[in-house]
């Protein structure tokens, strides 16, 4: 038996993006046992993954966690997060470790000087490069997301006109500069000729209610009403998904959905666009802005005060794709 500890503390999308590493190690290394260390709030993403043998959670002090990890006697640690906390874990365990290259210098050059030295490589392939000494090749089966049976949403629980198909619109994002303005979402939704399910967490609930109030018929607010796995079930059953640069975008990619991804202050060139996207998927962005990308993550508001990366998004192109 060969025991691996994979570390990725957060967040939703990043963890989903590591699943090809998990699967390829499990299937290509004889008698591999795969453990995964993450934050407690993200453990549910992994607990039903058949390629993960055990999930460890970071919800206790390091003084309590480290003895538990030492008792597992790992052969290898695969660090796909690479920060000070993962360094502490690796130093404490003293196992042979392999660490992900975060290309922070290349990202800094792109954000601050607009010099593009970024590798033309998806982050999944960069994650897989971290374990290239163990696996022969990428199986190209994409991302994994396994929904517990208890969290599968019965489509008949939605309004009747949604039973024959709907568009899932993931309206949320961790940062405001990664989200379309509410007025633009309303304008788009008013022109969509299919039922729409709005997805997001409880922080998006009031915004979604305003959208529903403005749009009227053929739209359902599911924000804050489902847990992550249930939201994933809604995505899985959708005919098409429109989303910002968020975790639900990567979950949609895991289910091989047609994805319309809308990008604001971040850029696909960072390597986190939908992985192995299916035919008909589209990336929507405003090209040619000298200020973009203004960050590798996001801001609470546009630092330039014009928000052209989202305000100038081509609504008609989105509507045509959604109604096609």
Tell me the pLDDT tens digit for each residue of 266-292: 999 999 999 999 999 999 999 999 999
255 has pLDDT over 80 = yes
CA dist 255 and 275 (Å) reads 11
In three-state secondary structure terms, 199 is strand
Q: What is the CATH number of domain 2-130?
A: 3.40.50.2000
Q: What is the mean pLDDT of residues 173-178?
A: 95
Q: What is the percent of the chain where pLDDT is above 70? A: 100
pLDDT of 264 > 90? The answer is yes
How many angstroms separate the first and last alpha carbons of the chain? 51
Q: Which of 234, 321, 232 is nearest to 283 (CA)?
A: 321
Crossing angle of helices 62-70 and 84-93, in 10° steps, is: 40
Looking at the structure, give the CATH architecture of the domain made up of residues 153-323.
3-Layer(aba) Sandwich (3.40)
Structure tokens at 275: 């992985």
What is the C-alpha to C-alpha distance for residues 128 and 164, in angstroms, rounded to an integer?
39
Q: Taking the CB of residue 172, how many other CB atoms lie within 10 A of it?
A: 24
User: Phi and psi for 188 in degrees, rounded to 5?
Assistant: -65, -50
The helix or strand, by DSSP H or E, that contains position 42, with its residue range, turns out to be none
Residue of 174, 156, 5, 207 whose CA lies nearest to 86: 5
116-175 confidence digits (pLDDT tens): 999 999 999 999 999 999 999 999 999 999 999 999 999 999 999 999 999 999 999 999
Q: Is the dihedral of CA 215, 221, 224, 228 positive or negative?
A: negative
Tokens of residue 28, six digits: 């290509």
Asked if the model's pLDDT at residue 60 lies above 80, the reply is: no
pLDDT of residue 62: 85
- Cα separation, 252 vs 5, in Å, equals 26
Phi, psi angles (nearest 5°) of residue 230? -70, -40
So what's the pLDDT on residue 235? 99
Q: Is residue 109 over pLDDT 90?
A: yes
Handedness of CA 75, 80, 82, 85 (dihedral sign): negative
Predicted confidence at residue 20, as pLDDT, reads 99
Residue 61 — pLDDT band, cuts 50, 70, 90?
confident
Domain with CATH 3.40.50.2000 in the chain: 2-130, 153-323
């Amino acid at each position: 038996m060969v025991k691996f500890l994979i570390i990725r503390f957060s967040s939703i999308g990043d963890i989903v993006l590591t699943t090809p590493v998990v699967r390829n190690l499990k299937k290509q290394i004889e008698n591999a046992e795969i453990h995964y260390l993450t934050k407690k709030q993200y453990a549910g993403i992994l607990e039903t993954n058949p390629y993960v043998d055990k999930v460890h959670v970071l919800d206790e002090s390091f003084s309590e966690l480290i003895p538990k990890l030492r008792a597992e006697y790992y052969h290898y640690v695969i660090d796909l997060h690479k920060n000070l906390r993962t360094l502490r874990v690796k130093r404490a365990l003293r196992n042979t470790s392999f660490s992900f290259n975060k290309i922070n210098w290349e990202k800094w050059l792109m954000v601050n000087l607009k010099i593009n030295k970024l590798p033309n490589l998806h982050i999944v392939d960069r994650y897989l490069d971290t374990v290239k000494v163990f696996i022969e090749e990428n199986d190209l089966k994409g991302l994994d997301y396994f929904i517990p049976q208890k969290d599968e949403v019965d489509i008949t629980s939605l309004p009747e006109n949604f039973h024959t198909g709907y568009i899932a619109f993931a309206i949320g994002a961790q940062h405001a500069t990664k989200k379309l303005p509410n007025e633009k979402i309303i304008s788009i939704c008013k022109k969509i000729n299919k039922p729409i399910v709005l997805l997001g967490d409880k922080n998006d609930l009031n915004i979604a209610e305003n959208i529903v109030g403005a749009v009227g018929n053929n739209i359902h607010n599911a924000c804050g009403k489902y847990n992550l796995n249930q939201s994933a079930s809604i995505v899985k059953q959708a005919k098409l998904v429109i989303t910002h640069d968020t975790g639900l975008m990567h979950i949609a990619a895991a289910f091989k959905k047609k994805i319309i991804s809308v990008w604001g202050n971040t850029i696909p060139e960072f390597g986190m666009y939908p992985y192995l996207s299916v035919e008909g998927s589209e990336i929507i962005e405003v090209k040619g802005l000298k200020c973009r990308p203004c960050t590798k993550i996001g801001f609470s508001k546009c630092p330039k005060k014009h928000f052209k990366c989202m305000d100038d998004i081509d609504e008609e192109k989105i509507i045509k794709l959604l109604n096609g």
